[in-house]
Amino acid sequence: MRKKPRSVEIFNLSFLDVVSCGFGALILLLVISKISEPQVAQTMARDRHAELAALENELTAVREEAKQVWQQLLQHQEELEQADRQLTENVAGLVRMQERIAGHSKSSEAVAIAEQKLQTARQQLTEEMQRLQRQQRIRTVSQQPIGGIPVDSEYIIFVIDTSGSMQKFAWPMVRRKMTEILDVHPRVKGLQVMNDMGEYMFSQYSGRWIADTPARRKAVLRRLASWAPFSNSSPVEGITSAIRRFYSKEKKISLYVFGDDFSRGSIQTVVNTVTQMNQRDMSGNKRVRIHAIGFPVLFAPSGAENNVIRFAALMRRLAEDNNGSFVGLTNLDK
């Protein structure tokens, strides 16, 4: 018996399943592409911003380099202009020099005439002008603060009698004479101030030199106005202390002694002691010059004249033996 052929159905369930799956896959691809599109756009935007920032940096660097090149160009142009001006001045100088050379003979005659006129004017000085010149010379000499005292020392030391008589009667003159001595020593390597007992004006500089500066000099003069340590009115201790501490074969030192009397002790003993301490150098000169100024304080009181005479005798002898000078003031006014 013959079988009937089966009828084929195109749109059966399996076919519909396949078609549905295909459409579903397409829809899923579309959904995925829409989701990832913003992320891709953001990445591209970031890359473009980075490229733009890099280009801006390069543009800034190029502008800065162009600015520097322009400044260098201006500088070179200024140098060229300056060189051109200098060249012009040199040419003008050469022209002037040639003119002077050409007129040398004429200028020599003019100089000779001027010198002749000057000589004639000098010879025609009146007696009044000559008198004024002599007065000027006398005034210049009289303005010297200390006569005959050498000022070649590199270091100076002051030994000042701070006794009551000096403080009461002579102190303004003491301050004046110290100022004058400092003025004739415009610059030294060091200075020091002690009283007749060997006590230092500035204890922080005990045993060492004070640097010579304008400020230090002002400080010394300012301190001197009220400086009044104890004194036995004898310069011996201060002199010997100064030489013992500061004597040096490598230094030129001047020792200035201010005082009014020497009441006790042997003059010869002091002279011998100082001679032993202040040795001579290879040239036969004493390394420490001793100068002294005597203040006429004790002439009036009865019985004090001998002390004044003893001070003058002692200091004159020390000055003579130690390459110095002794000045005895006649009054306390000038």
Q: 295-308, pLDDT tens digit by residue? A: 988 765 555 678 88
Q: What is the pLDDT at residue 37?
A: 60
Asked whether the predicted pLDDT for residue 102 surpasses 70, the reply is no
Mean pLDDT of the chain: 80
User: Structure pTM?
Assistant: 0.56
Nearest-10 crossing angle of helices 267-277, 305-321: 30
Checking if the pLDDT of 319 tops 50, the result is yes
Residue type, 7: S
pLDDT of residue 136 exceeding 50: no
DSSP 168: I
**Average pLDDT of the segment spanning 61-78:** 82
**Higher-pLDDT residue of 98, 146:** 98
Q: Is residue 121 over pLDDT 50?
A: no
Among candidate residues 326, 306, 324, 308, the one with its CA nearest the CA of residue 316 = 326
pLDDT of residue 32: 72
Residue 111 has pLDDT above 60, yes or no: no
> Of 260, 266, 278, which is closest to residue 324 (Cα–Cα)?
278
163 close to 228: Cβ distance less than 8 angstroms? no
Least confident of 196-200, 234-238, 327-331: 327-331
Residue 133 has pLDDT above 80, yes or no: no
E strand segments, the chain:
155-160, 190-195, 253-259, 288-294, 326-328
Residue with tokens 């060189």: 83
- DSSP label of 204: G
Please count the residues of the chain. 334
In this predicted structure, which of 84-93, 159-168, 187-196 has the lowest mean pLDDT? 84-93
* End-to-end Cα distance, the chain: 176
Contact 286, 280 (CB under 8 A): yes
In CATH, which superfamily holds the domain spanning 148-328? von Willebrand factor, type A domain (3.40.50.410)
